[in-house]
Amino acid sequence: MNEQLNLVTLGVEDLEVSRRFYSLGLGWTPLLDLDEVVFYQVGKGLALGLFPLSELGVDIGHPATAGTPFTLAQNLGSPADVDEAMRRARVAGAAVLKDPRRAAFGGYHGYFADPDGHRWEVCHNPGWSVADDGTVTLAAVEGLNAEG
């Protein structure tokens, strides 16, 4: 199997609420917006889909449940960008799980949950970079190893 991820689909309780949260609240532009699903391009060759949780269960052939234990993350250019993203998410109705602060990995981060409880980390990791071809480089950051 190829080492790639092209689509992350979140099962959501109320598609209209989630559409408003991501499109209007966070200011994301839909890649494709249909009555039954909405997609956002979130990276090179990577899309995020929002699909009604009940319909996702039907599509999979097994009941789907909310609150799957994983996080999605967005790496931003500076701590100020993290603060602004968290402010915008809060205004849009996100539940802030962890206010932004210095992180054990040497950067700065916070967590919020969208209207369905999907957890997002918003961070600035100075050891993270992406080349023009999309290759990610992740380096350890020296001297900053404790949360503040």
**Is domain 67-148 classified as CATH 3.10.180.10?**
yes
**Is-above-0.85 flag for pTM?**
no
Asked if residue 124 lies in contact with residue 107, where contact means CB atoms within 8 angstroms, the answer is yes
Query: Mind giving me the DSSP string for 106-147?
Result: SSEEEEEE-TT--EEEEEE-TTEEE-TT--EEE-PPTT--S-
Homologous superfamily of domain range 1-65: 2,3-Dihydroxybiphenyl 1,2-Dioxygenase, domain 1 (3.10.180.10)
Per run of 10 residues, the mean pLDDT along the chain (length 148 residues) is 80 95 96 92 89 82 67 92 96 95 89 91 89 80 50
What is the per-residue pLDDT for 146? 42
